Amino acid sequence: MPDSGDPVKDANDRVKAIGQRAAGRDTSGVMGKRWLLGIDWGHLPVWDDVFDGNQKIGRMRVSTGMAGVVPAWKLRDLLNKEGILMARDKVEKQLSERDEGAAILDVSKEDEFGQFEDLTRKLVQVPKRELDEKRNEES
């Protein structure tokens, strides 16, 4: 069962659709494709009595297997509202003005190996007497 926010798609049997298309029964090209039906927003439970033999011992929530879904056409209408369209056009314009060839490197701007070498050099240059004194102070 999908969770809230998950897309709800059709359950079209692709194998059957391919067979029907091959047999010439589906010339539309609609069958065999996945279609967004909407977005799941929750599930509709039902409360039912719980019995132990003939004795009612309580009530519990039981899944009905029914989901609440925002239909795709409502989502389309929402995304095509004037304010949303204007904001989307503005962002698309900003994105189109960027240099698409510019890559963002996944590395530090600083030379990490150089930093490691500098730290190692500093540690090696600490006199042994100074290290021994620090160890004695800590213990």
How much is the average pLDDT of 48-61?
92
Residue 124: per-residue pLDDT: 79
Q: What is the pLDDT of residue 139?
A: 73
Confidence of residue 26 (pLDDT cuts 50, 70, 90): low
- Tokens describing residue 137: 């102070």
**61-112 residue pLDDT tens:** 988 888 899 999 999 998 888 888 888 888 888 877 777 676 666 666 667 7
Please state the φ and ψ torsions of residue 28, each to the nearest 5 degrees.
-75, -25
pLDDT band at 135 (very low <50, low <70, confident <90, very high): confident
